[in-house]
Amino acid sequence: MVILLFTDIYRAPTRTVAMTVERIAQPHARGGGVVGNLPWVDLAVPEVDAWGRRFLYRGTPSFADDVGLPTVAPGSCPPTPPAAPPSQASFALCSDGNINIVDGAGGNPVASKIPAVIVSYGANGGVAPTSLHETENRPSGPNPTIFVSKGYSQNPGSEFDDLVAWISPHILKNRMIAAGRLP
Residue 78 is assigned to a structural domain of this protein: no
What pLDDT does residue 24 have?
Answer: 34
What would the pLDDT profile of 151-160 be if each residue is shown by its tens digit? 998 888 888 8
- Give the dihedral of Cα atoms 110, 115, 121, 126; nearest 10 deg: 100
In the chain, the number of structural domains is 1
Residues 6+ positions from 166 with CB-CB distance below 8 Å: 3, 99, 101, 111, 114, 116, 117, 118, 147, 149
Distance of CA 91 to the CA centre of its chain: 14
User: Please, are residues 122 and 153 in contact by the beta-carbon 8 Å criterion?
Assistant: no
Q: Bin 117: left if φ > 0, else alpha if -120 < ψ < 50, else beta.
A: beta
How much is the pTM? 0.73
User: Please, are residues 126 and 137 in contact by the beta-carbon 8 Å criterion?
Assistant: yes
Question: DSSP for 100-122?
Answer: EEESSTT--EEEEEESEEEEE-T
Residue 28 is assigned to a structural domain of this protein: yes
Residue 96 is assigned to a structural domain of this protein: yes
Residue 33 is assigned to a structural domain of this protein: yes
Residue 183 is assigned to a structural domain of this protein: no
Domain span at residue 8?
2-73+86-178
Confidence of residue 84 (pLDDT cuts 50, 70, 90): low
Residue 81 is assigned to a structural domain of this protein: no
What would the pLDDT profile of 137-172 be if each residue is shown by its tens digit? 887 777 888 999 999 988 888 888 889 999 999 999
